[in-house]
């Protein structure tokens, strides 16, 4: 986390890191891996698996940047942040991609998630109160992802798909019956 009182530096950092990470990472996660996983196991399982791998992908850089400061609390912090919050957010990205097939939208979601952390995350100190913030954020994302999964399960038969997939499935050329 970048801690500075200069809002210009903070905004510049968020605008550089958010889109950079969002657009580059999502080429692999959503542009390559997610469609293949969704074909074999559905959007929810694909999102969960991709989320776990996404969290582990961030283990080394997160460890280098935070392990010394967090000390013994680093393991629980990593589990809350990259093990729970990242997985829940990846489920949300998988759901959006399932219904829109838009790589750009997934990239914008990830850019907003990454850049938003730099802009909106409070200066969390390595302490139990800092852990409480991570727990609350992770719980909020889990509740949102759970709500989306339940919504999809209950309303999909009525609601169906949106985006390109829906147009492909519903568009049939006119053929006379005779």
pLDDT at position 22 = 77
CA distance 98 to 149: 12
Please report whether residue 62 resides in a domain.
yes
Please report whether residue 165 resides in a domain.
no
CA distance 162 to 96: 10
Please report whether residue 12 resides in a domain.
yes
Please report whether residue 60 resides in a domain.
yes
Q: What is the domain count for the chain? A: 1
Please report whether residue 168 resides in a domain.
no
Two structure tokens written together for 123: 């200066």
pLDDT at position 90 = 97
Chunked in runs of 10, what are the mean pLDDT values of the chain (178 residues)?
A: 61 71 86 93 95 94 92 95 96 95 93 81 82 94 96 72 49 46
- What pTM was estimated for this model as a whole? 0.81
pLDDT at position 116 = 80
CA distance 103 to 92: 13
Please report whether residue 166 resides in a domain.
no
**What range defines the domain where residue 143 resides?**
7-160
pLDDT at position 105 = 94
């Amino acid at each position: 986390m970048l801690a500075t009182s200069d809002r210009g530096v903070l905004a510049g950092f968020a605008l550089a890191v958010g889109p950079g990470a969002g657009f580059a990472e999502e080429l692999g996660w959503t542009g390559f891996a997610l469609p293949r996983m969704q074909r074999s196991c559905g959007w929810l399982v694909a999102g969960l698996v991709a989320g776990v791998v996404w969290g582990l992908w961030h283990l080394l850089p997160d460890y280098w940047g935070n392990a010394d400061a967090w000390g013994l609390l680093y393991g629980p912090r990593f589990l809350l942040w990259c093990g729970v919050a990242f997985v829940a957010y990846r489920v949300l990205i998988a759901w959006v991609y399932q219904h829109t097939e838009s790589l750009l939208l997934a990239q914008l979601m990830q850019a907003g998630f990454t850049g938003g952390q730099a802009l909106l995350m409070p200066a969390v100190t390595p302490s139990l109160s800092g852990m409480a913030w991570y727990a609350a954020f992770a719980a909020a994302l889990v509740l949102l992802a759970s709500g989306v999964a339940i919504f999809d399960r209950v309303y999909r038969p009525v609601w169906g798909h949106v985006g390109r997939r829906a147009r492909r499935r519903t568009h049939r050329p006119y053929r006379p019956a005779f």
